[in-house]
Structure 1
Amino acid sequence: MANYIHVPPGSPDVPRLDVTVQDQEERRCREGALRLLRHLRPRWDPGDVTLQLFTDGITNKLIACYVGDAMEDVVLVRIYGNKTELLVDREEEVKSFRVLQAHGCAPRLYCTFNNGLCYEFIQGEALGPRHVRRPAIFRLIARQLAKIHAIHAHNGWVPKSNLWLKMGKYFSLIPTGFADEELNQRFLSDIPSSQLLQEEMTWLKNILSNLGSPVVLCHNDLLCKNIIYNEKEGDVQFIDYEYSGYNYLAYDIGNHFNEFAGVSDVDYSLYPDEELQRQWLRAYLEAYQEFKGFGTEVTDSDVETLFIHVNQFALASHFFWGLWALIQAKYSTIEFDFLGYAVVRFKQYFKMKPEVMALGAPEQGRGCTVLK
């Protein structure tokens, strides 16, 4: 099974509560959240509980529940977006969450419920595009991602990427049109034909799967807002593991570099330049070999190879999220221009393709020596 994830023995059980949180109106949402808190925080007086809605997410709805003003103990309630079960394997998400928690890479998962889950709030600041390019911060991000990538698969099992399987599933779910006339016209004029998308998907698989990038446990959605920076502690933590799973190491980094451009107001001039990337990748490789217990040094050749792989896998990231956005445009009830986002991702894919494929690619299948 390509996306097999084994939860380490001794990991705390995660209770499942038979509760459904309605999110269409504030009163019903509060009622559902308070039902969860009766189990999770039985000593809290329901009348004292404050609910704060976070508005940055474009997949789910996230609510912070707490008592008092200090926000020392906060329970996050995440309500799954409409039809997101088409996009996310919720069972695998919980397994990834538990594995990462067991290795000190995730907050505590309190429970799951019928249409969501509850977990611990991480103190700190959700980052933006201006933060992730600062050397003091991007070195922390590189180190944290290396720590996750260095997590061993269970009992020596050799994992396989499920990227192409997921991409194929997403492709089968993209709409052929929209009932709204204006939306449909934008779809027909601005989105590549399904035949062209199919051809590109086949090409991506043939080229990228032969680069030799290791398959590791990946976050797969490391956008800026999914990185929490605690300046006082001098560390970063990642949140939201919906898309986590085994994937190509270079994809995870390339996806993060794409997210330097932001989400709501995408600006690809913010994509990290070559100098920043090489600094980032060297910091990553140094941390990776430390977590793996390797004694080898990081060479310029290692950085060069990873630089090429990362930029070429960034193409797959654009393609993946372009398909994702088309599906969201059909089903999501969140206020966001998903179709416009799909257009932006596919345009950047086709713009970036000749640039990154012209890089001095190493021999087919050659990998970075540090990552072997």
Structure 2
Amino acid sequence: MSATANIVHEAVEIDVDLLETSANHLICLIKPTWVSKKIIFKKLGTDDNNIYYSVYPNDHEDEKHGVVVKVYPRNSDVYTDHQKELELIEQFFHHGIAPRILLTFINGYFSSYILGQTLSIKEDHTHQLISQKLAEFHSISLKFKNGLHFVDKLKQFIDLFTKKNINLHNRLIEIKEEQEKSIDKNPSVFTTLKSAIGLNTTPTLALTLEQLELQLKDTTWATLSTEIDFIQSIFETNWSKHNLPMVLCLNNMNIHNFLYDSKNKTMSIIDFDHCSYNYFLIDIISYFLEIAKDDYDNNYPQRHIQK
């Protein structure tokens, strides 16, 4: 039986642009006492790829008494297995890592509220708190069948630019049919692709897969795929001989993916979209790069912080 079998599911789709009207019915299924109350929707974070809102009635003192709704980016199912994500979150909940899922719908889910604030990546204590949470996360043993490894996930993204991803090809055709009257008749290839996989909120006229291929003729995706294979060989040849453990990694070390509740002294993880089996060092290196951002020479953490 699936880990999400006992979670209520409604076969409806929420329009994020009409959230207040399209989500009200579902909210009242979770919180029947809110039927006659005005509901407040507050967007969490600034990442358009992770659409989260806190939802709470206006007569409550603050939003911690509410719930959280996540709406999947449009067409994100071409690169993310949302059902597997839900099953992971449900298991993480039982380990005290993730919020409880209250209800799912076609393009998202409601969960219990997560207390906490985003920490400053410039503060040393932030690194300590995140490293402790990460060590706890890496130590969890889950029943995770057919879980993709990190290299497989990388190849999935590369396939977005090739003919291997049939789902994306079909979506591009659908989008073109829907948006032939779009104002933007000459979108860039990356704008088109971002629109197709839900990372672009501005409607664009979709290119066919052949047009995408033509515009990408100078980009050697085959070479890039080969380089990923080379990375994998380095992992297997050099890292495995040192007995580095392969664990379930976040693969998303963005500082906004962590919330700290200073009152209860607890750290929470928000998003699990990119979880996969990986060498634990990859998460750590990813966090170092998150600290450095675009100024690697000046911001990459010094040795005492790395330790």
Asked if these proteins are the same fold (TM beyond 0.5), I'd say: yes
Asked whether the 8 Å contact 2:45–2:256 carries over to 1, the reply is no
Which residue pairs with 1:259 in the alignment? 290
Asked whether the 8 Å contact 2:147–2:276 carries over to 1, the reply is no
Which residue pairs with 1:326 in the alignment? none
Moved over 4 A (4+): 157-161, 178-182, 184-189
Counterpart residue type for residue 306 of structure 2: Q
Which residue pairs with 2:257 in the alignment? 226
Which sections of structure 1, spanning at least 5 residues, go unmatched? 1-5, 279-372
Asked whether the 8 Å contact 1:30–1:51 carries over to 2, the reply is yes
Distance 1:152 1:35 in 2: 37
Which residue pairs with 2:9 in the alignment? 16
Q: Choose which of 126, 133, 153 in structure 2 pairs with 1:166.
A: 153
Which residue pairs with 2:169 in the alignment? none
Asked whether the 8 Å contact 1:159–1:216 carries over to 2, the reply is no
Which residue pairs with 2:228 in the alignment? 201
Asked whether the 8 Å contact 1:16–1:113 carries over to 2, the reply is yes
Q: CA deviation at 1:184?
A: 4.8
Counterpart residue type for residue 141 of structure 2: H
CA offsets 1:63-99 (integer angstroms, 9 cap, x no match): 2110133223121111110111122111110111011
Asked whether the 8 Å contact 2:120–2:126 carries over to 1, the reply is no
Which residue pairs with 2:135 in the alignment? 146
CA offsets 1:264-322 (integer angstroms, 9 cap, x no match): xx4434332222112xxxxxxxxxxxxxxxxxxxxxxxxxxxxxxxxxxxxxxxxxxxx
CA 1:185–1:54 in 2, change beyond 3 Å: closer, same or farther? closer
Which residue pairs with 1:42 in the alignment? 32
Which sections of structure 2, spanning at least 5 residues, go unmatched? 164-171, 173-183, 192-211
Aligned residues: 257
Asked whether the 8 Å contact 1:100–1:148 carries over to 2, the reply is no
TM-score by length of 1: 0.61
CA 1:46–1:270 in 2, change beyond 3 Å: closer, same or farther? farther
CA 1:250–1:161 in 2, change beyond 3 Å: closer, same or farther? farther
- After TM superposition, the structure 1 = structure 2 runs for residues 303-318 of structure 1, keeping only pairs within 5 Å, are none
Which residue pairs with 1:29 in the alignment? 19
Q: CA deviation at 1:15?
A: 1.7
Sequence identity (%):
23
Q: Choose which of 43, 50, 67 in structure 2 pairs with 1:60.
A: 50
- After TM superposition, the structure 1 = structure 2 runs for residues 334-345 of structure 1, keeping only pairs within 5 Å, are none
- Which secondary structure state, in structure 2, belongs to the residue aligned with residue 43 of structure 1? helix
Counterpart residue type for residue 277 of structure 1: Q
Q: CA deviation at 1:55?
A: 4.7
Q: Which has the higher helix share?
A: 1
CA 1:160–1:17 in 2, change beyond 3 Å: closer, same or farther? closer
Distance 2:12 2:142 in 1: 33
Asked whether the 8 Å contact 1:153–1:159 carries over to 2, the reply is no
Q: CA deviation at 1:219?
A: 1.7
- Which secondary structure state, in structure 2, belongs to the residue aligned with residue 237 of structure 1? strand
- Which secondary structure state, in structure 2, belongs to the residue aligned with residue 126 of structure 1? coil
RMSD: 3.1
